[in-house]
Amino acid sequence: MLESPLTWGQQDIWRAVVAARPQEHYLNIGRIFAAPKRPVTVERAVKALDDLVARHEALRTRLSGPRDHPRQRVSPIARPYVEVTDESAQVVCDRLSGEPFDYWEEWPLRVAFLVTGDHVRHVVLVLCHLAADGHAADLLVKDFRLLLLRDSLPPPQSATPRELAEWQRSPEGRRTSDEALAFWTAEYRRMDPVTLADVPRRPRFWEATMTSAAIAAAAQAVAARERVSSSTVLLTAAVRLAGRLTGQRFCGMRVIVNNRFAADRRDVVSTISQEGLVLLDLRTPDFGELVRQGWQVALRAYRQAQFDPYAMEEAVSGMGPGIRSFGCFNDQRLVQRDEVTGLDERAVRASMERTELAWTDTMDRNICDFRLHVGGEPGRMEVSLYADTGLLAPPGIERFLYDMESTLVEAAFA
């Protein structure tokens, strides 16, 4: 057995686990993918799984030590939970995702092989967020698919979680963290206090999800016109609307950064994503100009998203009453297609009548009081807003999402 401290990304997730207990299963990451077209037996699938677990240290890692200061413990072998079933893939994924992991005793991966007769047709992976972030989950799907087709893969070239933790405790790692802390605190000093408050409901945290073709078309159109990403356009709209709620001239929102820019981290299977801080000057009246500002600010923020989370919490919590960033933005789309030609304004505005909004989840506890997730397909975007009802009551959550749609559509045809 090998032990080391948690990485900074794992520490962030552990803080979220503690804050959300006993409902932390929302942090679990589920993936469903089709088996190769050539027949795959259950026996071959199990062998591919064994090879996947042997290949990636994160899948052989559990927690050790005290619960208020856990460490990661790596084993030479691991046998994750596996079931073989003929149920539907989504039903199985929801079931396996619906329970928290036992972080000290359970391996951080649950697997289901969905079979027809003697052959596997789909694979379900459910990962503990301490072992993988969203990008790492996608890397595991890629490796698993290849292992179902081949007998082996070249050895991984990226750093392991233990090596990342060792670097973070090195002088270079500490300098990196200190630079990020200095950047964040300088940005916090530019913020105005936030005084927004509402009457909490029970459950305390509510989530609504908007499914909108209009948001997808409008965000892509603005992105193409301003030569930025649609993610930047969505983030800019979110910050602008948050600023209207808070009354801040300089409004900051945290954004999830996958931290895989360096060559030796491109294919890391671990949780290394952390938050960057994007602070916009909302005195900029033109949305296109604000989007261009958002692009430049986001690029700087991405470079300052590796830090000791406990040191960061101490630094920003002492900035003064009401001085805080407003929520977190997470674009989870795998593909962004932002080249748009011949946008039909009448068709886009008509599609707004088909926009759907549903209440999708509630929780009693959470570490994040305002969280926007972006997902869905290129032509039909899903935007979810999870908010503390003590900050924004359900009617305000709904209004924020509809305002985001209308803001983007107006910007697209300005």
Tens digit of each residue's pLDDT (9 = 90 or more) over 249-293: 999 999 999 999 888 899 999 999 999 999 999 999 999 999 999
Sequence ranges of the chain with CATH classification 3.30.559.10: 2-165
| Fold category of 2-165 in CATH | Chloramphenicol Acetyltransferase (3.30.559)
Give phi and psi for 283, each to the nearest 5: -75, -5
CB 187 within 8 A of CB 378: no
Degrees, nearest 5: CA angle 207-345-383: 15
In eight-state DSSP terms, residue 141 is H
Phi-psi region of 182 (alpha: psi -120 to 50; beta: other; left: phi over 0): alpha
- Look at residue 315 in the predicted model and tell me its pLDDT: 94
What are the tens digits of pLDDT across the range 119-175? 999 999 999 999 999 999 999 999 999 999 988 899 988 999 999 999 999 999 999
**For residues 34 and 139, what is the distance between their CA atoms, to the nearest angstrom?**
15
- Look at residue 339 in the predicted model and tell me its pLDDT: 66
Strands (E), 180-238: 205-212
Of all helices (H) and strands (E), which one includes residue 241?
helix 230-246
Phi-psi region of 12 (alpha: psi -120 to 50; beta: other; left: phi over 0): alpha
Sequence ranges of the chain with CATH classification 3.30.559.30: 179-412
CB 254 within 8 A of CB 329: yes
From first to last of its 414 residues, the chain has per-residue pLDDT tens of 789 999 999 999 999 999 999 999 999 999 999 999 889 999 999 999 999 999 999 999 999 999 989 999 999 999 999 999 999 999 999 999 999 999 999 999 999 999 999 899 999 999 999 999 999 999 999 999 999 998 889 998 899 999 999 999 999 999 999 999 999 999 999 998 888 788 889 999 999 999 999 999 999 999 999 999 999 999 999 999 999 999 999 999 999 999 998 888 999 999 999 999 999 999 999 999 999 999 999 999 999 999 999 999 999 998 888 898 989 999 988 666 666 667 888 999 999 999 999 999 999 999 899 999 999 887 899 999 999 999 999 999 999 999 999 999 999 998
Query: What is the pTM (predicted TM-score) of this model?
Result: 0.92
Single-letter amino acid, residue 201: R
- Look at residue 194 in the predicted model and tell me its pLDDT: 85
Per CATH, the number for 179-412 is 3.30.559.30
- Look at residue 379 in the predicted model and tell me its pLDDT: 85
CB 85 within 8 A of CB 112: yes
| Of 32, 35, 33, 31, residue with least CA distance to 120 | 35
Which tokens in the block code for residue 283? 């005195």
